[in-house]
Amino acid sequence: MMTRLLRLGIPLCLIALVALIATARLATRGSWVPPLPTVIGEWTVTEVPVSEEERSMLGSPRLTGFELTNPLQERIFGRIVATSSFDAFLPPLLFRFYEVTGEKALTLEGGGKALGQVNRQMGSELRVSMIAWVQRPDTSTSLLGIPSGSTRSPLGRFLLGSEAAFQENRSCLIRLFTIVHPADPSGAQARRNLLSAANAVRKALADGKPLAGARGAEAAFSEGGKDIAYLADKGTPAGSDSAELLPLKTGNNWEFDATTEGGRVPEQVIVRGPEVVGGVSGIALDILRGGKLWRREVYQHDGKALRLLAFGDATSTRIVLSPPMALVALPVTEGGEVHWKGNLILKGQKLPTIGYSRVSARENIVAGAGRFAAYRVDSVLTIDGAKPTHFPAIRWLAPGIGFVRRGYADGGKPAVAELKRFTVK
Amino acid sequence: MFGVTTRMVPGSGLARHSTILLLIGVPTLLLLFALVQLCRNVWFGEGAPLGYQAFLPLGAIALAWHRRFDLKTISAELSTLFPDPNHSKRRGTVVLAVFGGLLLLAGILASLPPLGLFGFLLLAVGIVLALWGPFILRGLVGPLGFLALMLIPPPMAGITGRFGIEFQLRSTAFTGYVLRALKKDAHIQGSTLTVGGQTPIDIPASFSGLEILLATLAFSVLVVLWHRLRIGAALLVFFTAIALSLVVNLVRVLILVSTGAPQWLPSAPFTILICAMLWGCGLLLAQRSAATPKETLAR
């Protein structure tokens, strides 16, 4: 009898001991939710509350909801969730009304792995791209436990739990998701934004340590789905130089049909000739409305970048950028970004300003003058201050042609000008 | 149960008691503590509809205690038929208990309450089998079956998701109809109720009635097993439980609508009230028809 009791009692005592140690360790290490700084790379972080319903659906783990905003005011929503409950690996509440239409493993900086996912809203064409990975304090990543489609892996969770309990490895689940904007039909920019944000978040959490790659057994998930193209890497160098992107020979001109809040207005852009701005030589462009000078912009190309030197209306105010701000770095790459920090000189006053410009997409533009393959260049200048002032602009530039479409603010209202005719020497 | 077996081995009772308590009881209690930690969000989380599950082991223990005389009889018969205390009819394998413990450990590491609960059930069954054999295990089918039936949680995503929302909406609609029947001007929009043009009141998920319904259904199973009720009487208890939980939740929502203070209306007192009524109902039914063991659900 005693032998039988010992045969049962000893394993039970051992299991109970291990279970207690695991419970105690998971209670501390399993609730790791690292804080994020308010600015990470080009992204501004704003903490946002998470609803009680979502918290409860995830099994009430510790979690942080946040929003990342880039200089172009594009938003990415995020969650950092402690891996303390099995349901913590469920997607956020929003995804209840979505179906997974694409899945792919994405590679992060340093070789880290993340699950890329496209979710389509049921009964509509609205898509939300998402990236998710398990992050450890040593900066390594894992896909363990992350659900593929609607399937959650108990084995993955078991391995993660064992790591936390016995290998001193804490982990948290990070999810970032963004709406695929209608102006981004291939989802390429959404994907680039997600990867940029993911790498920024990882660097922020690495606290100066070099980024490690993926570690541990990989979770099995099915790559594919009808929307997998939304997760494919489409960044390709175009091999164009700035002179071809915006031909700046004197006399070149472009005629536009501008649509503003006041109606349709004919616009003409003429390359006037060389001009020195703040000691830097550039090429001035006159923008005429109804035959009268309306605005002036000064550009420069030096083989490394297409730069903006100055802009402003013709009659009174000219705004000078010191140093000149690069709009497009060469060679042109879809997704290529330029960050600028300098001063905006307005009526002799120096205003500290930051600039951001990005080749967001290569698009086929149909305008009055024909059909063009053009790069959409999104730019924004932001004057620092208690209430930052933004100067956004969108330029569609076709190599060898120049402007084929322009988007800008006209008295604070959005306006779009489309190419009707052009003369380029 | 222990007392009966102890008498079978004269002179070793106290030592055996202490050994069982130390080697089996203590680790089982520790594992139960780990299980409670694993399930604390499911059981004690805000608005958790499965909080009643935390009390199920107590119900099973009470049921086993209630059946102690049956177990004594089985044990006495076994010791007469098989005098060797180590006979296979009086002792079983330890594998099931160890496997159950390991499964519970896996559930803890995977943060997966259903796996942990299943492991704990196997552990309980395995301990009974290892220490007292298959016949005593059969005698405990009622309490263990009660645990098995009630302890494994339904999918939480369904409970807190579509199913919960459905209950919340129906609870709101039901209250609205009752108010209209009482000649009150009630307007229903989703889970929002507007009475007499006053500020709209959102009926929260915790007032869906699901929590009360699940708890009272579990208690009604205990009542049926305790009193060994016949199928007809058992069905009557189940229907009474459903009807009482719906009516009591309606009263709760009506109080909420009239006071607008959900913090004063936790579901626990209402659930206890229904359980007391169900217990009385079970007593009455048991007195009216004394069931034979063959005809009861418990067997």
pLDDT-derived band at A362 (thresholds 50, 70, 90) equals confident
Nearest CA in chain B to A82: B111
Q: Which residues pair with A80 in a beta bridge?
A: A64, A174
Query: Is B133 in the A-facing interface, judged by CB distances under 8 Å?
Result: no
Neighbour count for residue A211 (Cβ, 10 Å):
17
pLDDT-derived band at B9 (thresholds 50, 70, 90) equals very low
Of B34, B85, B98, the CB nearest to A23: B34
Nearest CA in chain A to B25: A9
Query: Is A7 in the B-facing interface, judged by CB distances under 8 Å?
Result: yes
Chain B, residues 139-168, CB within 8 A of chain A, namely 156-157, 160-161
Q: What is the pTM of this model?
A: 0.75
Q: Do residues A281 and A275 lie in contact, with contact meaning Cβ atoms separated by under 8 Å?
A: yes
pLDDT of residue A367: 86
Say which DSSP state B153 is in: P
ipTM of this predicted structure:
0.77
| Per-residue pLDDT tens digits for A302-334 | 888 999 999 987 666 788 998 999 999 988 888
Contacts of B19 in chain A (CB under 8 A): 2, 5, 9
Nearest CA-CA partner of A192 in A240, A244, A233: A233
Average pLDDT over residues B264-282: 88
Chain B, residues 43-102, CB within 8 A of chain A, namely 45-48, 85-86, 91, 94, 97-98, 101-102
Q: Do residues A309 and A283 lie in contact, with contact meaning Cβ atoms separated by under 8 Å?
A: no
Say which DSSP state A411 is in: T
Exposure letters B108-123 (e unless 16+ CB within 10 A, then b): bbbbbbbbbbbbbbbb
pLDDT of residue B11: 44
Question: CA B39 to CA B117: how far, in whole Å?
Answer: 9
Of A290 and A64, the structure prediction assigns the larger pLDDT to A64
Q: Which residues pair with A175 in a beta bridge?
A: A79, A132
A9/B22 CB distance under 8 A = yes
Nearest CA in chain A to B103: A15
